[in-house]
């Protein structure tokens, strides 16, 4: 059970399930679009990348 909670509350899941839609909606509200990619794809790359980086660094804060 503890392993399940660690997986659900991991930085990667947070980046993909929360940050990606937030970034996509922010881009849509601002009228931004990168090339011809849908904003959700751009949000997934950015949110997933930030989550992956936080997972390997062990912190969301840049200075550790």
What pLDDT is stored for residue 9 in this prediction? 82
In a domain, 64, yes or no: no
What pLDDT is stored for residue 64 in this prediction? 61
Residues of the domain holding 52: 10-29+37-57
In a domain, 25, yes or no: yes
Chain segment 5-57, per-residue pLDDT in tens: 777 788 999 999 999 999 999 999 999 999 899 999 999 999 999 999 998 98
What pLDDT is stored for residue 63 in this prediction? 66
Quote the CA–CA distance of 40 and 34 in Å, as a whole number.
11
Domains in the chain, number: 1
In a domain, 62, yes or no: no
Chain-centroid distance of CA 3 in Å reads 21
């Amino acid at each position: 059970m503890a392993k399940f909670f660690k997986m659900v509350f991991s930085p990667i899941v947070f980046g993909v399930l929360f940050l990606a839609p937030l970034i996509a909606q922010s881009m849509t509200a601002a009228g931004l679009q990168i090339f011809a990619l849908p904003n959700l794809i751009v949000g997934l790359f950015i949110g997933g990348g930030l989550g992956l980086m936080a997972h390997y660094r062990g912190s969301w804060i840049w200075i550790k």
